[in-house]
Chain A
Amino acid sequence: MTEPMRAPSENLLQTSGRTDLVLIADLIEPGSRVLDVGCGDGTLLQMLTNIKDVDARGVELSQTGVNACVARGLSVVQGDADADLPAYPDQAFDYVILSQTIQATRKPKSVLDELLRIGRRVIVSFPNFGYWKVRLHLMMSGRMPMTDLLDQPWYETPNIHLCTIRDFVTMCEGMNVKIENAYARRGNRIKMRFSKPGMLANLISDEAIFILSRPD
């Protein structure tokens, strides 16, 4: 079910403390066209530009984030994953990345549909609500779980559509989306690669990264 994940490139690890971004960056072919939806302050775009020489673009909801990105020389527009993706043409990018954002969208399914239309491959990462600590927290305290990745109280979190790894897989199957690869991560260590995520990954990982495409 699981197999060891190869170590991300050393040079990538050195540029950022964020292993999730390092892993995503490592998955990208050099020189490709990439759209990062919800690119924040542009850390991943900067990494991809510096190391992979990609044609990197970003969309970010917060205008402060956008302006910071542009001031760094990144091509970023203000926009909303729910509203602004339909403007892009089909298959305009080699990769579309949705990092730690899908759980904050209003319509995750429609967003994923759009991403798969725009990009040949889609990389989605999200916090796994099936992580044992999350389950334990809810069971023991009876309150909404808060973890490193889910660090805001329920009334302030933008995460309105949390899911578990199994939930996500079920959605992909229902949408006829091909899971090319999936990675699970706990803390700052990438633990495993799995082609068909099952119970164990869902239990022991606090974050999942999926590479998706439309079947040929």
Chain B
Amino acid sequence: MTDQNPAHRAAAIPAEEAVKLQPVAQFGNHTPLRLDSGAELASIRIAYQTYGTLNDDKSNVVLVCHALTGDQFVASRHPITGKPGWWETMVGPGRPVDTNRFYVICTNIIGGCMGTTGPMDTNPATGKPYGLKFPVITVADMVRAQAKLLDQLGIEDLFCVLGGSLGGMQVLRWAASYPERVFSAIPIATATRHSSQNIAFHEVGRQAIMADRDWHGGDYQSRATRPRKGLAVARMAAHITYLSGQALHRKFGRNLQDRDALTFGFEADFQIESYLRHQGFTFVDRFDANSYLYITRAMDYFDLDADYDGIIANAFKGTKTRFCVVSFTSDWLFPTSEARHIVQALNAVAANVSFVEIESDKGHDAFLLDEPEMFSTLAGFINSAAVHRGLAKAE
């Protein structure tokens, strides 16, 4: 698996460069971010994007939480890949999260690599990149950082917080930690705790990165190299979990890649191999290997049930938040049974909850794709919540 494209060997944009491209919020030593691990991040930077217009009473704020390899460019062109925003089908003018009506904020999560403080950044204690000296972060830490940003922006509460996968975990954490700040919440294709199987897949990815000689115990930046192959393999393995067997079969079957017969070798004979290699190679251009380690770890550690002594309903006791839980029939990474677990917890406190399971063969990734039923149900939910919030419909 050799990468011939010299452009692919370029390092991702260093955090310092990326920062110039976007709004960032700086938090100095006087307001450290206290982490679940007990450590403190003395000085942090949060990179974010906003869309739409904040109304006078600041009641139309929507926070979009991104997934493992997502970023703040939810509805605008990505500065590195040049691709459209990762959720432009959901967020934008006339979309379910209508930017003509709502003020949308999306932050790069803490530990990320698109401008927010993460392991690529300089450790103030050593003057070198953090690498593995970066403290282990959790979903709750991500949410705390987002809350800090909202505080700085003078935004007290959110009309809606939504996201899929890791984004959905943040949504649940938001609703549990700051119920009074969340009017409505849409956790999509997610769970209250990461399953054993999912931790297992993450471990495969991390081991692939760590097995790459260019990883150097996480200290690759000071050696001006990057564990490209390890990260690519991690992405390839993970990508399979985002799809469904049925969708893979429909898209690729056993079709051969640019050839008429098997080569009796280990080139990418099959289209699916070629596709996965492409996914791996393109991913490393925009993502940092250590960030991948830290963020997958945060997902593994996520266990809202344990945080509430095994009684998940207690996470939502007395909540006034309106919930819409979404799952997909072919998602085997976060199957519908996980969504039901959330719904049962919410029912147990008689919370205002809707639950839709969307028929799709596209697996976990369905939440990022064109799923008309997801859009119509969420548009209905969001519009109804907006009416209850007293937000007038867009002109």
Chain A residues close to B by CB (< 8 Å): 33, 55, 57, 63, 66-67, 69-79, 84, 87-89, 92-93
Q: Report the Cα distance A216→B331, complex, angstroms.
A: 48
Q: Could you pull out 10 A-B pairs where Cβ atoms are within 8 angstroms?
A: A55-B352, A57-B353, A66-B354, A66-B356, A67-B377, A73-B387, A74-B380, A87-B347, A87-B348, A93-B350
A196 to chain B, nearest CB (A): 33
Would you call B31 an interface residue if the criterion is a C-beta within 8 Å of the partner chain's C-beta atoms?
no
Contact pattern, B 326-366, Cβ under 8 Å of A = 1, otherwise 0: 00000000000000000110011110111111110000000
| Interface contact B354-A75, CB-CB below 8 Å | yes
Partner of B356, one of A70, A87, A89: A70
Contacts of B344 in A (CB 8 A): 84, 87
Would you call B100 an interface residue if the criterion is a C-beta within 8 Å of the partner chain's C-beta atoms?
no
Q: Report the Cα distance A92→B352, complex, angstroms.
A: 11
B22 to chain A, nearest CB (A): 34
Q: Report the Cα distance A88→B349, complex, angstroms.
A: 7
B37 to chain A, nearest CB (A): 34
Would you call B225 an interface residue if the criterion is a C-beta within 8 Å of the partner chain's C-beta atoms?
no
Would you call B379 an interface residue if the criterion is a C-beta within 8 Å of the partner chain's C-beta atoms?
yes
Would you call B373 an interface residue if the criterion is a C-beta within 8 Å of the partner chain's C-beta atoms?
yes
Would you call B270 an interface residue if the criterion is a C-beta within 8 Å of the partner chain's C-beta atoms?
no
Given the known A-B contacts A87-B344, A88-B350, A93-B350, are A73 and B383 also in contact in the complex, defined by CB atoms under 8 Å? yes
A130 to chain B, nearest CB (A): 35
Given the known A-B contacts A75-B322, A77-B343, A87-B344, are A70 and B350 also in contact in the complex, defined by CB atoms under 8 Å? no
| Interface contact A77-B353, CB-CB below 8 Å | yes
A20 to chain B, nearest CB (A): 25
Contacts of B348 in A (CB 8 A): 87-89
| Interface contact A71-B355, CB-CB below 8 Å | no
Q: Report the Cα distance A73→B358, complex, angstroms.
A: 16
Contacts of B357 in A (CB 8 A): 63, 66, 78
| Interface contact A77-B376, CB-CB below 8 Å | no
Q: Report the Cα distance A79→B343, complex, angstroms.
A: 10
Instruction: Please tell me the size bucket of the interface on B.
Output: 20 to 34
| Interface contact B347-A70, CB-CB below 8 Å | no
B175 to chain A, nearest CB (A): 15
| Interface contact B350-A75, CB-CB below 8 Å | no
Q: Report the Cα distance A77→B325, complex, angstroms.
A: 9
Q: Report the Cα distance A76→B380, complex, angstroms.
A: 12
| Interface contact A74-B354, CB-CB below 8 Å | yes
Would you call B384 an interface residue if the criterion is a C-beta within 8 Å of the partner chain's C-beta atoms?
yes
Q: Report the Cα distance A76→B178, complex, angstroms.
A: 24
Contact pattern, B 4-47, Cβ under 8 Å of A = 1, otherwise 0: 00000000000000000000000000000000000000000000
| Interface contact B350-A89, CB-CB below 8 Å | yes
Would you call B242 an interface residue if the criterion is a C-beta within 8 Å of the partner chain's C-beta atoms?
no
| Interface contact B349-A70, CB-CB below 8 Å | no
Give the residue among B356, B358, B373 with the most A Cβ atoms within 10 A.
B356
A121 to chain B, nearest CB (A): 16
Partner of A67, one of B347, B353, B356: B356
Contact pattern, B 95-115, Cβ under 8 Å of A = 1, otherwise 0: 000000000000000000000
Smallest Cβ-Cβ distance to B355: which chain A residue: A77
B328 to chain A, nearest CB (A): 12
Given the known A-B contacts A57-B352, A63-B357, A78-B355, are A71 and B376 also in contact in the complex, defined by CB atoms under 8 Å? yes
| Interface contact B381-A73, CB-CB below 8 Å | yes
Would you call B324 an interface residue if the criterion is a C-beta within 8 Å of the partner chain's C-beta atoms?
yes
A27 to chain B, nearest CB (A): 21
Partner of B377, one of A33, A71, A79, A93: A71
B339 to chain A, nearest CB (A): 9
Q: Report the Cα distance A77→B344, complex, angstroms.
A: 10
Smallest Cβ-Cβ distance to A35: which chain B residue: B350
Given the known A-B contacts A77-B343, A78-B357, A87-B344, are A71 and B379 also in contact in the complex, defined by CB atoms under 8 Å? yes
Supplied contacts A67-B356, A67-B376, A73-B383, 13 more A-B pairs, CB within 8 Å: A33-B350, A55-B352, A63-B356, A70-B377, A70-B380, A72-B384, A73-B387, A74-B384, A76-B355, A78-B356, A87-B348, A88-B350, A92-B350
Smallest Cβ-Cβ distance to A69: which chain B residue: B354
Q: Report the Cα distance A73→B324, complex, angstroms.
A: 10
A81 to chain B, nearest CB (A): 13
Partner of A70, one of B324, B343, B387: B324
Q: Report the Cα distance A87→B325, complex, angstroms.
A: 16
Smallest Cβ-Cβ distance to B381: which chain A residue: A70
Contacts of B359 in A (CB 8 A): 63
CB proximity to A under 8 Å, residues B142-175: none
Q: Report the Cα distance A92→B376, complex, angstroms.
A: 29
Contacts of B379 in A (CB 8 A): 71
Contacts of B353 in A (CB 8 A): 57, 75, 77
